[in-house]
Amino acid sequence: MINRILTTLGLLVLLVLLPVLEIRDTHVFNPDWPPHARLHEVWQLTTNAGVALVGLWLVWRRGAVQLAGVLGLCMIGGALVAHALAPSYGGALAYPGGPNGAVLGIHVAVIVPAAAALLFSLAILMDRGLRCGSAFGARS
């Protein structure tokens, strides 16, 4: 059961937390962003939310934790790759004059996706262990 909960928490980051953080004047309604960039932002948010809903269905109706976890890792991993490659394309974790939230010197825009990736990874490993008969984790 814990593997399902971990996957669900990771999927809720994509389905709920990121839209709450990005559907405001810092992202979707940012007047400094070109309209085309805002379109891509909404596209990314709605695609991630749709795939997260599919992931929740996979976890709770089909018991496919590993598949849902891999889908989650693909989506949240894309954010981590975008952050890592930001210097090569002129990207930034925050915009000038905007909030610059950091915890222990690490930007929250890196902490949240990294935490979700950890949740997905743990759930996948636990589910694999359960399916292989390992003592790694409790029965779901």
In a domain, 104, yes or no: yes
What is the CB neighbour count within 10 angstroms for residue 18?
24
The values of phi and psi at residue 103, to 5°, are -125, 120
pLDDT at residue 103 in the model: 81
In a domain, 23, yes or no: yes
Domain around 98: 2-131
User: What total number of domains does the chain contain?
Assistant: 1
Which two structure tokens, joined as six digits, stand for 73? 């890792």
In a domain, 137, yes or no: no
In a domain, 8, yes or no: yes
Which two structure tokens, joined as six digits, stand for 1? 């059961």
pLDDT at residue 139 in the model: 47
In a domain, 136, yes or no: no
In a domain, 85, yes or no: yes
pLDDT at residue 4 in the model: 95
% helix / strand / coil in the chain, to the nearest 5? 70, 5, 25
Positive/negative CA dihedral, 108, 113, 114, 115: positive
The values of phi and psi at residue 23, to 5°, are -90, 75
pLDDT at residue 94 in the model: 76
Instruction: Tell me if the pTM is above 0.85.
Output: no
Local confidence pLDDT in tens for the 140 residues of the chain: 999 999 999 999 999 999 998 999 989 999 999 999 999 999 999 999 999 999 999 999 999 999 999 999 999 999 999 999 999 999 988 776 666 677 887 888 888 999 999 999 999 999 887 766 654 544 44
